[in-house]
Amino acid sequence: MAEHFDIIIIGGGPAGLTAATYARRAGKSVLLLEKEGFGGQIASSPKVENFPGFAAISGAELADKLYAQADALGAQIELEEVLSVEAGTPHTVVTDYNSYTCTALILATGMKHRSLGLEKEDTLAGVSYCAVCDGAFYTGRDTAVCGGGNTALQDALFLADLCRHVTLIHRRSEFRGDPILVEALKKRSNVTMVLDTVVDALLGDNVLTGLQLRNTVTGETSTLAVDGLFEAVGQQPEGKLAAALSVADDGGFIPAAEDCLTGKAGVFAAGDCRTKEVRQLTTACADGAVAALAACTYCNANS
């Protein structure tokens, strides 16, 4: 017989971990399921400077603190991939190891990296989505970062401390990231900014040797020899489970307002997978708190 919980949370990022903390403080039995690593994508950030209470903290340390708090309160936290979900009374969640049931379900599945959609992108050695994870492999070598937001700018700054040279490639004429990061990059002698440019192709057979670039204004093409490419071109929702529950929109996001309620009874959405204008650490944690309290209310009315 499947083990039953008051609340099951799918996703171990800031939203999911915060939800677990709030639900446990309310006295509910909680299972949190995460398929890869706790803390979400923020765990890969070398420095977080916009989370209240911390002037600066690494993403990994912040993730550890969020995890430790939920764990200390008694949330059952498992590293398991959810294969299927079925809404009902109760809801059923099947993972690669077990099957569980719950009264309330919180989807905090977050986002995944968006790719450039190029041939060999998934098979060519030298293509990465995480500068903090893989940057050390390119110490003293030439790399490129593709993107124009804060993630791309932070990746370029991080790599500039390790690599011989970093080329930052952005398809527009101006960066979308914070001006303070742009100014910091301009002070780095081993960083070149290439604007109005896209990557058209990856060069190399089994290992990346370079990039084929195209200027979007002039149409001029060129090649850039690099040992590594770090992609930071945005994210898209992990929408598979939401689609299976029929609570996702065409883009894979979950249309839930600030109350985090979905159109399915007993199913709630929290964090970056939810439709909203602002996706930040603080809003993810806020979602986690709101979704958990709503789930607790639902459990009280349906226990």
pLDDT at 293 over 90: yes
In this prediction, residue 280 carries a pLDDT of 87
Is position 178 annotated as part of the catalytic site? no
Q: List the beta bridge partners of residue 283.
A: none
Average the pLDDT over each of 34-38, 74-78, 91-95, 156-160 and give the range with the smallest value. 34-38
Asked whether 152 and 145 are in contact (CB, 8 A), the reply is yes
In this prediction, residue 102 carries a pLDDT of 98
Asked whether 232 and 129 are in contact (CB, 8 A), the reply is yes
pTM value surpassing 0.85: no
In this prediction, residue 47 carries a pLDDT of 80
What share of the chain has pLDDT > 70, as a percent?
A: 100
Domains of the chain (ranges plus CATH)? 3-113+235-302 (3.50.50.60), 127-231 (3.50.50.60)
Beta carbons within 8 Å of 58's beta carbon, 6+ residues apart: 45, 46, 47, 48
Q: Which amino acid is at 188?
A: R
In this prediction, residue 284 carries a pLDDT of 95
- Taking residues 51-80, report their average pLDDT: 95
Task: Find tokens 């690099």 and name the residue.
Answer: 226
Q: Supply 18's token pair.
A: 């915060």
Of 130, 142, 178, 196, which is the active-site residue?
130
With 0-12 / 13-18 / 19 or more C-beta atoms within 10 angstroms meaning exposed / middle / buried, residue 126 is buried
pLDDT at 175 over 90: yes
Q: Cα separation of 237 and 284, whole Å?
A: 14
Is position 133 annotated as part of the catalytic site? yes
How open is the CA angle 41-232-272, to the nearest 5 degrees?
40
In this prediction, residue 50 carries a pLDDT of 86
What share of the chain has pLDDT > 90, as a percent?
A: 81
In this prediction, residue 46 carries a pLDDT of 76
Is position 142 annotated as part of the catalytic site? no
In this prediction, residue 44 carries a pLDDT of 75
Is the model more confident about 121 or about 132? 121
- Taking residues 202-206, report their average pLDDT: 94
pLDDT at 42 over 90: no
Note if the bond before 255 is cis, omega within 30 degrees: no
Average the pLDDT over each of 25-29, 244-248, 295-299 and give the range with the smallest value. 244-248
Q: Cα separation of 118 and 133, whole Å?
A: 22
pLDDT at 180 over 90: yes
Of 64, 71, 134, 196, which is the active-site residue?
134
pLDDT in tens, 235-272: 788 888 999 899 999 888 999 999 999 999 999 999 99
Q: Cα separation of 99 and 119, whole Å?
A: 38
- Taking residues 71-78, report their average pLDDT: 98
Whole-number average pLDDT of the chain: 94
Of 64, 71, 102, 133, which is the active-site residue?
133
In this prediction, residue 32 carries a pLDDT of 98
In this prediction, residue 78 carries a pLDDT of 97
